[in-house]
Amino acid sequence: MTKQTKILIASIAFLLVSAFEIYAVATHNLNIEMIFKPLLMTTLAVIYLFSVKKPSFWFLSALFFSFWGDVFLLFKDKFFVFGLASFLLAHVLYIKITAGFLKKESFGKIAIASVPFVIYLLGLLFLIKDNLGDMLIPVIVYGITISSFGAVALLNYMSNKSTANLWLFLGAIIFITSDSLIAINRFYESKAMYGIIIMVTYIVAQYLITKAMIVKTQQGEL
């Protein structure tokens, strides 16, 4: 079996797993979701491993923590904080990886890349702050982390407008959108449609980040 055939099969598997997971969320079928949600990051990891010769330990670790975030959030009423912690670690690893692509940048560029995400974070916290309770500090920490990922990804794209860096930046933005909707759904207003949008954006974000990491690994940057 050729490398391209393996990648194609793994990609089809990821697409099917994603479709079943979105269906499970839309129909509130926890039994189906318990089967397919843990397979999202598993199939993405397989795509990555089939696509590169020397896999990145740090990127696979980010997928590993994302996997556990998915598992914990299947039982979000009991393990929401554990899910939050798992995705926090995944984002920290994404920041580490993306920062590694950067050369020394000017303060002006860093400020320009940071401002939109500072505004976003302040706006989100203002919206949900009254309902956070004991979750105030964890949510602030998580919000700072995902905002930092967005800022670093934007700075990376500003420094080198390659296709891979665009995928990484879009992945970060869509991931932030997904996480923001989780916060709004839990701490501001709960709507059924949020669950579907959260899952679709999450899947797209992780796929785009993985595509970027495949290219970066093939080019020897990761």
pLDDT tens digits along 118-152: 999 999 999 888 888 888 898 899 999 999 999 99
Mean pLDDT within 100-104? 84
Reported as a single tens digit per residue, the pLDDT across 185-207 is: 888 888 888 889 999 999 999 99
5: pLDDT strictly greater than 80: yes
90: pLDDT strictly greater than 70: yes
Predicted structure pTM score: 0.91
pLDDT in the model for residue 103: 81
**What percentage of the chain reaches a pLDDT higher than 90?**
69
Distance CA(95)–CA(141), nearest Å, equals: 14
- Cβ(165)–Cβ(157) under 8 Å? yes
8: pLDDT strictly greater than 80: yes
Reported as a single tens digit per residue, the pLDDT across 40-82 is: 999 999 999 999 989 999 999 999 999 999 999 998 778 888 9
pLDDT in the model for residue 147: 93
Residue 106: pLDDT band with limits 50, 70, 90 = low
* Domain residue limits, the chain: 61-218
**What percentage of the chain reaches a pLDDT higher than 70?**
99
